Chain A
């Protein structure tokens, strides 16, 4: 559904999107969750850092980087959250259950990298 936003932005010539307005990742893209460990309260659960997943959807509502804003720093432009699908077997090498079992989580853009970056 949000892939259509990307298509729309590309279709109308002469319209300059704001910084961060065009999603960096598209549905179906493979992503790596960053492994950084900043001190403080961050909303990216540690057990998923460094794991590989697939973008299932781009969240329609852009949001501010509340990790920056939460520390009183200006978070700047809003960015995208992505619903990312990660197989349980990717997260836990000793996972007991079906190989189809998976996890879903919304991750803010600045925690995601392209696999080739790694």
Chain B
């Protein structure tokens, strides 16, 4: 905590807002995290700047990376086959590094198979290529229901999968992560790789939706 003097919010703004303050007491887990972190730093297991650096690494990972991988797979069949053979080395080809020692399986959606990913035990997620998972991915309703009633879960995301299409749910555990390779939508033949990447969203790479292309909106 700093012992600098406090001052009111009286500097020159041309807008009003309430001062940004944190009034809530830290929770049990906030305190535990701070205590464990300070102890580990004090015992020199790692340095404070290493934690900061790792947060920077995590913040640099967003679904835009995954979208790039998908768009490349849609436009380059040789890349796609290497990616399906080994997801991690495929992503590494595009400069996406894997800092966490996980492997990656890329699951291809086809007219016959729709893939959905979940981690029933916690929140395993392909963070190197997608960044942090959405909150719903980490919460128990999704984790429990994705493996028990995937079709209902998909309906709630607005995704209707015909009965003759197989639903394949992959449950992430210790060392393997998954990325869904969605189907390229019809009518996108004229789009280039960058334009295609813009169509690909996080949710499509988790498998809760399909990639849509609305010709009129583009």
Whether B175 is near chain A, meaning CB under 8 Å from some CB there, is: yes
A108 contacts B174, CB within 8 Å? Answer: yes
A106 touches B173 (CB 8 A): yes
A98 touches B164 (CB 8 A): yes
Q: How many residues of A contact B (CB 8 A)?
A: 29
Smallest CB-CB separation from A67: which chain B residue?
B174
Cβ–Cβ contact B120 & A45, under 8 A: yes
User: With A45-B121, A61-B103, A97-B163 in contact, do A105 and B171 touch (Cβ < 8 Å)?
Assistant: yes
**Given A59-B103, A59-B176, A96-B151, A103 and B166 contact (CB-CB distance below 8 Å):** no
Residues on A with beta carbons closer than 8 Å to the beta carbon of B61: none
Q: Do B175 and A63 touch (CB < 8 A)?
A: yes
How distant is the Cα of A102 from the Cα of B166 in the complex, in angstroms? 8
Q: Does A104 contact B (CB under 8 A)?
A: yes
Q: How far is the CB of A59 from chain B (nearest CB, A)?
A: 7
Separation in Å of the B42 CB from the closest CB of chain A? Answer: 22
Task: Collect the chain B residues with CB atoms within 8 Å of residue A106's CB.
Answer: 173-176
The answer to whether B150 has its CB under 8 Å from any CB of chain A is yes
Known contacts A59-B175, A101-B151; 15 additional CB pairs below 8 A are A1-B85, A43-B173, A45-B171, A45-B173, A47-B120, A96-B149, A96-B152, A97-B163, A102-B167, A102-B169, A103-B170, A104-B170, A106-B173, A106-B175, A108-B174
7 closest Cβ pairs, A-B complex: A100-B166, A101-B167, A104-B170, A105-B171, A43-B174, A106-B176, A43-B173
Identify the A interface with B (CB < 8 A).
1, 43-45, 47-48, 59-61, 63, 66, 81, 83, 88, 91-92, 95-98, 100-108
Enumerate chain B interface residues (CB-CB to A < 8 A).
85-86, 103, 105, 120-121, 147-152, 163-171, 173-176
A sample of 12 inter-chain contacts (CB < 8 A) reads A47-B120, A59-B175, A66-B174, A96-B152, A97-B167, A98-B163, A98-B165, A101-B151, A101-B167, A103-B147, A103-B169, A104-B171
